[in-house]
Amino acid sequence: MASVTSKTPMLRAAAARGFAAHAQAAAASRGSAEVQTTTLPNKLVVASADPNAAVSRISIVFRAGSRNETVDCLGAAHVLRAAGGLSTKTATAFGITRNIQQAGGSLTTAADRELVTYSVAVTKDQLEVGLKYLEATATGQVFKPWELAELTPIIRNELARLPVEVQAVELLHKAAFRDGLGNSVFCPDYLVGKHSSETMQHYFAANCTTNRAAVAGVGVDHQMLVGFAQSLALESGAGGENKSAFNTGEVRREGAGSRAAVAVGAQAVGWSSMKEAMAFWVLQHAAGVGAATKRGTNNGVLTKALAGVNSSSLYNGYSDNGMFGFVLSGDAKDAGKAVEAGVKALKSLSVSDADVARGKASALAAAAEYTENQSTLLHQLGEESALLGQVYKKSDLLAAVNAVTTGDVQAAARKVASSKLAIGAVGNLSHVPHLCELH
């Protein structure tokens, strides 16, 4: 039977609780008209921005991404994402779907290597409905065995549709980090349909706690959001911290056809060091992230060496580590030649003042666009709150990019040039050199 929308004035009750919670956490609070953050006594971080936006967007974020999986539960984060919106302790899957649709909203679940995020977007007059089903979805899942079984064809379809470039980057992570960050964000083929209700309940209980959570909102009053966060039925607990070290290695997956996709990476830094991370981010934009115009060329300092293939530089920054390199795809023969040229360019990577100026301009535009879009702003608030325990304002991000010097970017390039390499490759690899042939 479909669940019925509650008539309880939750927003008023949550706001009342929020003032009390805010008073208790005053010493841990900081913010401005642009961004406000509050750390509750139970360690849950609340962040909000742009309260006057027409659409209210709220996320509940957990540090429950695939890096937290063990050998006994590989693929659990993917299943957790796919199970978003299924039956909970207080609502059926049909009830959630019907009520969110009737409210004209959307309820989504996303997952990556570090985070699992549940988000709702509704107009302000439907915020009570949205919050009710967001809370139910994020905190009350029951993982009924027959509903998990129904996810099997959905997950298999997702795996079948993965672009080869994405597959190559996944294999690169496996080669570079092995476990932890090396765990794929996608469920292994041989484990699809093998996750029991007990496995999922255990994974959720171990990783979805107040110490590992954040609540983020755009277009919502901060005090109300604090009250909502305070009322969430979550257990406390720090959980485990799965650190990942960078290693050299390669993972290859042979396939039929005439094309190949290859990702090559060197060690970089994570976002715990903002100054260094920004230098690598500017380096990525200077190295080349694709043509800027419809008929333009990919003329970055790195990608211009990758002739005859589709290519982009790559920077993946995480909370404790990072990786810089490139990803390419094309005809197998061209891909092999491009990998050799790309590794040679990576090992001699250098930038000029003009390259850095171009990279900073591109990075500034990307940062401004990211923080001005309400959906991506919500993602930023949730990600930084859950991983760093604080949120950077737009002005802070732009200032950090502007503060990057040519010397900072050159130091990042030298770190890449001196690093050991890892490779992930998929497709027709008959012409793609092995890692030992590239050193």
Q: Let me know: does 81 contact 155? Beta carbons within 8 Å.
A: no
Closest by alpha carbon to 137, among 184, 100, 189? 100
**Per-residue pLDDT, 353:** 96
Strands 55-62 and 116-123, by their bridges, are antiparallel
**Per-residue pLDDT, 52:** 86
CATH architecture of the domain formed by 249-437: 2-Layer Sandwich (3.30)
**Per-residue pLDDT, 327:** 97
Name the band, by pLDDT with cuts 50, 70 and 90, for residue 4.
Answer: very low
Could you tell me the two tokens for 78? 């993917």
CATH architecture of the domain formed by 36-231: 2-Layer Sandwich (3.30)
**pLDDT tens-digit profile of 332-352?**
999 999 999 999 999 999 999
**Per-residue pLDDT, 24:** 39
Name the band, by pLDDT with cuts 50, 70 and 90, for residue 295.
Answer: confident
| Burial zone of 317 (CB within 10 Å; 0-12 exposed, 13-18 middle, 19+ buried) | buried
User: Would you say the CATH fold of 249-437 matches that of 36-231?
Assistant: yes
| Higher per-residue confidence, 172 vs 235 | 172
Distance CA 174, CA 160 (A): 19
Task: Name the residue type at position 66.
Answer: S
Where do the domains of the chain lie? 36-231, 249-437
pTM flag (> 0.85): yes
pLDDT at 301 over 70: yes
